[in-house]
Amino acid sequence: MTLSKMPMETEPPLSDVYKIWLIMGQVYNAMSRARENELRPLGITMIQAGVLWLLTGLGRPASPAELSVMLFRKHHSVSQLLKRMEKQGLVERPLELQKSGAVRVVLTEKGRETLKQVYEIGTVIDDIMSGLTPEERRTLRSYLEKLHENAFTQLVEKPPFP
């Protein structure tokens, strides 16, 4: 049941701003669950798919610290994530890149193949977004980009926006 359809005897004292924020959270959570379900057969999570996508987009080795900023996650969480991905054979830390003392990760062939499969099976987000016209999607994106900018001005550290 969505917030907007929830039966209530009295309306909680929420402004339109908070109602929008709550609905955005529900939409994100529902879309994330749907995407996680879609990725499950590949044995990876959304965040792992994000790492594969970022490493491909960067086109170069990346440090856990660099990825943590781009993923908006804590450094130690990304380090643990990368260790799990290394065990799965999706990324590796080549020894020749570690001589400087800084950890760098790269995609493996399995990581590249997995990302290719992520793209091939990826329909759930398109299906969800198909309820919007191209014009509505452009408008929504414009609004979300404004909110993104406003939200990150409230933070000390601003991660890059892909």
| Tens of pLDDT, residue by residue, the chain (162 residues) | 565 566 556 666 778 999 999 999 999 999 999 999 999 999 999 999 999 999 999 999 999 999 999 998 999 999 999 999 999 999 999 876 666 667 899 999 999 999 999 999 989 999 999 999 999 999 999 999 999 989 888 876 655 665
Q: Which pLDDT does position 94 carry in this prediction? A: 85
- C-alpha distance across the termini of the chain, in Å: 32
CA pair distance 2, 7, nearest whole angstrom: 10
Cα–Cα distance for residue pair 52/114, rounded to 1 Å: 8
Domain spans in the chain, listed from the N-terminal domain onward:
36-122, 123-154
pTM (2 d.p.) = 0.79
CATH class of segment(s) 36-122: mainly alpha
